[in-house]
Structure 1
C-alpha cells in the first residue's frame, strides 16, 4: 500500500511530495519529491487515557446538585449509570468511541479498563469478559489498542471495603492477576495489540500491591495521580507525603509509567517527576469538565518532560480540542500567547510532542513517520478553506486553533485505512447499535 501526500511531517521536519509505503502494518519506506499527492500527512497520536463506557453518559451530569459540584459528585452519578451496563452494552459503546476517536485523528487508544464485573461484583465465567468486549470493538473498528486492566482494591487510603458501584471494579491481587492473564490472551487476536497494567490510584490500591504490580508485565504502567486537592489531602494524611512525592520515593518510576492528570503538583514535584522519564497523561477536556485544575505544561516541558493527551471520560472526543485546550489553559494562567511554542509553532509542538508521548505511554512503536514504525497516520484536508494556501507549521496551527474535526479526511491505524473521506468505514453499523444502547440507558436513568 502507498500513501501519497502533498506534504508530510517527518522526524527531521517538513517534506514535500511524500510517498509512504506500508507493509505488514508498518512503514516500509518514505520517499520524497514524488509529485501528485494530496493533503498533509502527520503522525496519528495515541489517545493515552480513556474510560470508554463513560461516553454513553456524556452530557448527563451538567446540572447542579446540592452544594458545590465537583469530581466527587460527578462520580456518584457515574456509579448510578454503570449499574445499568451489560457486556453487550460495553462492546457497543466501545466501538462507537473508537469510531469517533479515529475520525478525530487518533491512531490508537490506551484503554484504562476498570469495569470488570457484573452488577454487585458478580464475576463472569470468563473473568476478562468485559476486556474481551473492548478487544472485539477494536477488532471491528480497526483502531489500535493498548489494553490496561485496572487494579482497584479499596475505597480509600484507609483500606475501607468497596461498596455500591465500586464492586464492579474490585479485585484482590490474585483475582486481578487472573484478569490480566485472560485479557492478554484476548488481545492476541489483534496484530498490533498490547497489554499493560493500571494500578488505579494511591487511594484505590494498597501499598503492598503498588510495590508489585509493575512487575506483572513488561508493558506500560498507568496510574491516576494528584488529580484533585481532596486526593492530595487524603494521601498526605495517610502516607505522610503528597501523592507525587510519595510515588517518587516508593515506586520504580521510569519511561514505562504514565502518570495520569498530575494537575496538583508543586514546582519541585513537576521537575522531579519529569526527570524520571514517565509520561504525563493529560486530559484537558475532562480536567476542565470536572474542575480538576491546570497542568503546569511550561514547567513540565522546561524540565524535559514527555506528555500526551487522552479523552478520559469521553464527554467530548476531539484530538484538536484536547491540544487546543491544553495551550489555552496555559495562556489563561500566564496571560500570554503561544506559551508552549519554541522554535516550532504552537500547533507543531502540540502535534509532535503528543504523538511522541502517546506512543511511549501506550508501548506502541508509533508516533513518527519513519521506516519500521506502525503506520498510524492522519491525513488533513488542505483543500479546505481553513487550510487554504498554508504550508508546514501553519497547517497544524490552523488545524488546532482555527479548524474543526472534519479536516481529518483519512486515517490509518497500523496500516488499516479505517477513515476514508472523513467517515469511518464502520460508522453506520456501529452507530445503529450505539443508538439502541443510548435509548435503553437514558430511559432507565
Structure 2
C-alpha cells in the first residue's frame, strides 16, 4: 500500500482553479493527499517551495483498454480491398488472445507511465480480458484485474477499474465466438469483481461496472446489473452507437436505436458513461441530457478506426457532460485528444472554433473543451470532487514554459497554445494524490518498464507477418 503523503505546502505562479486561471496561488495538501487550502492572490512566502510553472489539474482518461497499447501502430496497412472497424477488431483479437497476467502488467505499466506524461492522473480501465484464452478461469480468478491494479500502483496513476459484462457476439448470437471466450463475464461476475476491487484498499483505486455494448449483453443481464447496482454510487460505462452497423442491428432487433433503447428502458442516470456515442440523433442527445449521463468521446481512436464524427455542437448545446479517453492508445495525451475533438468538427463543418460559445461568455475553444473534459472526467471516474479546490485529490500538472510551442505566448492564451500549438513537451512535473510521480521530466522506473514492455512486444510480434 502506498505510504500516505506528509502534509505539504507549495506556491504556484498561476493555477487553473474553478472559474479559470488565478494568480499567485498558495496550495496546501493534507496527510490524505487532498487539497486542504487553495488560496489565490497570495504573495510567495519565503519558506514555501515554488512550483516551476503554471499549474493545471490532472485530467481523467475516461476510457482505456490497456492491452491495446501493444497493438498501437500495427494496424496501419491494408492488404485487402476494404478495411474498417470490424476488420481492425479481428486483428486486435490477436493481442487479446495472447496476453497473460504478467504480460498485461508490463503493457499496462508502460501505458500508465505514458498517460501520466500525457497529463492524465486517473485512468478508467474498461477491462474485458478476464480468463485464459480458452475461456477457463485462472487459478486466481481475478489475475488479470490484479495485473492492472499492480501496474497502476507501481506507476502511481489513479485507477478506476471497470469489469465488463460481455456474454454474446452480437444481437442475433446466443454466445461468444471462440476468439472471444476469455471475455465472458455475466452480471454477477461483474458485480463480484467490482466489489473485490473496492475491498483492495489502495488509496488511488476505485471501481465501477461496465457493459461492453448492447450487442454483447442480453437485455435481462442489463436489468440484473441494474438490480445489483441499486444504491451503488460508482460509474457505469458502456460502448454505445460507435458503428452504424451496431445502430442498424439494434433497430432491427429492438425497433429502437441504442441510446434510445437505454433511455426507453429507464436505465440511464447520472452514473452512466456513454462511450463514443458517435451515431446519435438530437432526440437521443436530449434524452442523455435529461438523464444526467456523460458522453465519453475518444477522438484519436474514433479517427483511427474510421468510426465517424459525433455531433459535438449538439452535445455542448444540450449541456451534456463530456469526457475524453485514450481508448485504443494510438494517442496517449489529452492535449491531442482535445485538439482532434475540435479539428474533426472543423473538417466536417468547414468552420473554425466550433466548440467556442462567445454568446455564453466562452470565446476560447480550448478552455471550453478543457473544462468540459475536466468535469466529465470526474463523473467517469466516480469522483465527486475533481480539480484544484479543497477536498479534491491533490493532482496537478506543471507546465514546462521552456516548451518551444509556448515561447512568446501571452499568459492569457496559454491553454489555447497548449492544445492547439504542437508538438509540445510532456509536463515538467506531475503529482497524484500528493505524490510526485514525474519530477523535472524524470519518471522513476521508466527505463525498466520500457525494457519489460519491449520484451513483451518481442514475444507478441517478432515472428508476426508485419
Q: TM-score, with normalisation over the residues of structure 2?
A: 0.92
Hey, what's the Cα distance between the residues in 2 that align with 1:200 and 1:295?
19
Do the aligned residues in 1 keep the contact of 2:233 with 2:382 (CA within 8 Å)? no
Hey, what's the Cα distance between the residues in 2 that align with 1:403 and 1:413?
25
Out of 7, 12, 15, which is 2:22 matched to? Answer: 15
Alpha-carbon offset, residue 392 of structure 1: 4.7
Hey, what's the Cα distance between the residues in 1 that align with 2:150 and 2:375?
27
1:195 paired with 2:202, answer no
1:333 alignment partner in structure 2: 348
SS in 1 for 2:27: strand
Query: Is the alpha carbon distance of 1:303 and 1:175 closer, same or farther for their aligned partners in structure 2, counting shifts above 3 Å?
Result: closer
1:157 paired with 2:163, answer no
Deviation string for 1:350-394 (max 9, x for gaps)?
Answer: 221111100111112443210100112111112433223445541
SS in 1 for 2:335: helix
Hey, what's the Cα distance between the residues in 2 that align with 1:418 and 1:253?
36
Do the aligned residues in 1 keep the contact of 2:28 with 2:37 (CA within 8 Å)? yes
Unmatched segments (≥5 aa) in structure 2: 1-7, 45-49
Hey, what's the Cα distance between the residues in 2 that align with 1:108 and 1:390?
29
Do the aligned residues in 1 keep the contact of 2:167 with 2:186 (CA within 8 Å)? yes
Query: Is the alpha carbon distance of 1:4 and 1:383 closer, same or farther for their aligned partners in structure 2, counting shifts above 3 Å?
Result: farther
Out of 425, 434, 441, which is 1:406 matched to? Answer: 425
SS in 2 for 1:352: helix
1:418 paired with 2:437, answer yes
Hey, what's the Cα distance between the residues in 1 that align with 2:420 and 2:332?
16
Q: TM-score, with normalisation over the residues of structure 1?
A: 0.96
Hey, what's the Cα distance between the residues in 2 that align with 1:106 and 1:94?
14
Do the aligned residues in 2 keep the contact of 1:118 with 1:124 (CA within 8 Å)? yes
1:102 paired with 2:116, answer yes
Alpha-carbon offset, residue 237 of structure 1: 0.5
2:406 alignment partner in structure 1: 387
Query: Is the alpha carbon distance of 1:328 and 1:285 closer, same or farther for their aligned partners in structure 2, counting shifts above 3 Å?
Result: same
Hey, what's the Cα distance between the residues in 2 that align with 1:375 and 1:165?
42
1:307 alignment partner in structure 2: 322
Higher RCO, 1 vs 2 (CA within 8 Å, ≥6 residues apart): 1
Hey, what's the Cα distance between the residues in 2 that align with 1:261 and 1:94?
22
SS in 2 for 1:121: coil
Do the aligned residues in 1 keep the contact of 2:239 with 2:276 (CA within 8 Å)? yes
Query: Is the alpha carbon distance of 1:239 and 1:28 closer, same or farther for their aligned partners in structure 2, counting shifts above 3 Å?
Result: same
State the aligned residue count: 443
Unmatched segments (≥5 aa) in structure 1: none
SS in 1 for 2:348: helix
